[in-house]
Amino acid sequence: MEAYLKEALEIVKAQASVRTMNEEEITEMVRKLADGIRMISEGTMVADDATVSAIDAKKAIKEKTITCVECGKSFKIITKKHLATHGLTADEYRAKCGYKKGTPLVCKSLQRERRKKMKDMKLWQRRTQK
C-alpha cells in the first residue's frame, strides 16, 4: 500500500500546486488515487459507481469548489458542457442530486462574488438621464 500512497501523494502534490485545495479535498483525493492505483495494478478495477456514490450531494458545494456527483471532479462551476458528458441537463442534475430547482451549480465564493456585483450594478433601478 505504501507504494500506491507515495504515487498518489505525488499526483495530489502536483494538483495542489496549481489550484487551491482544502485539507478535506486533499485527503479525499489521496485516498481515491491510492485505491485506484492499487486496483489498476492488481487488475481488480471495479465500476465507478462505488466511488461516485461516496460523494454526498449536500456536501458537494463547498467554499471554493463544487464537486460533480457523477464523476467526482471538482470545479468552480459545473457547466452544461460537463453535464452533457454525463448525458444530463442542469435541471436533471439538480433533480438527481436533490437540489432545489434554482440552485446555482457554482462554488459558494463565486456565488457571493456574483451576487455582490449584481447589487453594485443595481440593474433593477431605472437610470436617470442627465
- Is residue 83 domain-resident? yes
Which residue range is the domain that position 104 belongs to? 57-121
How much is the pLDDT for 49?
45
How much is the pLDDT for 51?
43
What would the 3-class secondary structure string for the chain be?
Answer: CHHHHHHHHHHHHHHHHHCCCCHHHHHHHHHHHHHHHHHHHHCCCCCCHHHHCCCCHHHCECCCCEECCCCCCEECECCHHHHHHCCCCHHHHHHHHCCCCCCCCECHHHHHHHHHHHHHHCCCCCCCCC
What is the pTM (predicted TM-score) of this model?
Answer: 0.54
CATH number (domain holding residue 82): 1.10.10.1550
Tens of pLDDT along the chain (130 residues) come to 577 788 888 888 888 888 888 888 888 888 888 888 888 877 765 544 444 445 788 888 999 999 998 888 889 999 999 999 999 999 999 999 999 998 999 999 999 999 999 999 888 887 766 5
Same domain for 117 and 63, yes or no, is yes
